[in-house]
Homo-oligomer: A and B are copies of this chain.
Amino acid sequence: MSENRQPPRRSDGTRAAILRAARERFAADGYERATIRAIAADANIDPSMVMRYYGNKERLFAAAAEFDLRLPALTGVHPDQASELLVGHFLERWEGDETLMALLRAGVTNPAAAERMREIFAAQLVPVAERLSPDRPQVRAGLVASQILGLALCRYVLRLPPIVAMERADVVAWTAPAVRHYLTGSVTETAEVGLQVAGDAGQVD
């Protein structure tokens, strides 16, 4: 936010092409199988240009995996609607931008990519959970992440047939209640008693 004072350079087009190709390859192949040579070929330039502009593969990935979830604020929204909006927004974001796919595919085997996912989680999802419940928002955000990332994993990466076949609206309808439970529901402490999902958004003690 402070160093984009540089004037537009002649190579900006190439830089962008590299970044676009990198995101595509990282998304399709993961970190190790996405080679600099393949990325350079996609961008129609020489592999050495990638090195010149991004230093090394790790920094190229860091640049390609910059991501903003653009989550809505959701302050004052009813939890039911909030969780629906959240799931729907996430699916849209996933399908419209391959950065998330790149992050997941790479994050499973590359520590830096995993760290980036933790950063995005902490900086972008936790605040939303905080706005919806003052009680253990990090845990709530983590549970939401588990459901939402698991959904993306099964639908877009592992491609489990029944999940792939679902309409997006059905996916939202099924998973939103679970997300709502995580965002605003309560839990009987050590769970010996039969659990239940409270019928309304009962806050926790």
A102-143 interface bits toward B, Cβ cutoff 8 Å, 1 = contact, 0 = none: 001101110000100110010000000000000010110111
A contact face: mostly helix, strand, loop, or mixed: helix
Q: Would you call A181 and B177 a contact (CB within 8 A)? A: yes
Interface residues of A (CB under 8 A from B): 29-30, 32-33, 78, 80-81, 84, 104-105, 107-109, 114, 117-118, 121, 136, 138-139, 141-143, 145-151, 153-155, 157-163, 166, 169-170, 172-178, 180-182, 185, 187-191, 194-197, 199
Q: Would you call B195 and A197 a contact (CB within 8 A)? A: no
Question: Can you list 13 A-B contacts (CB < 8 A)?
Answer: A30-B32, A107-B158, A108-B109, A108-B153, A117-B158, A139-B174, A146-B151, A153-B153, A173-B187, A177-B196, A177-B197, A178-B181, A197-B199
Contacts A114-B157, A147-B147, A147-B178 known; A109 to B29 CB distance under 8 Å?
yes
When distances are taken between beta carbons in the complex, the residues of chain B under 8 Å from A139 are 162-163, 166, 174
When distances are taken between beta carbons in the complex, the residues of chain B under 8 Å from A187 are 170, 173-174
Which of A154, A169, A173, A181 has its CB near the most chain B CB atoms (within 10 A)? Answer: A154
Given contacts A145-B163, A174-B187, 15 further A-B contacts (CB under 8 A): A30-B32, A81-B194, A107-B158, A108-B157, A114-B157, A114-B159, A138-B161, A142-B154, A142-B166, A146-B153, A173-B188, A173-B189, A176-B195, A181-B181, A197-B197
Cβ distance A147 to chain B, nearest Cβ, rounded Å: 6
Smallest Cβ-Cβ distance to A111: which chain B residue: B159
Q: Would you call A84 and B163 a contact (CB within 8 A)? A: no
The listed residue (B108, B185, B189) touching A104 by CB distance below 8 A is B108
Q: Would you call A33 and B142 a contact (CB within 8 A)? A: no
CA distance A172 to B197 in the complex (A): 13
Q: Would you call B161 and A173 a contact (CB within 8 A)? A: no
When distances are taken between beta carbons in the complex, the residues of chain B under 8 Å from A151 are 146, 150
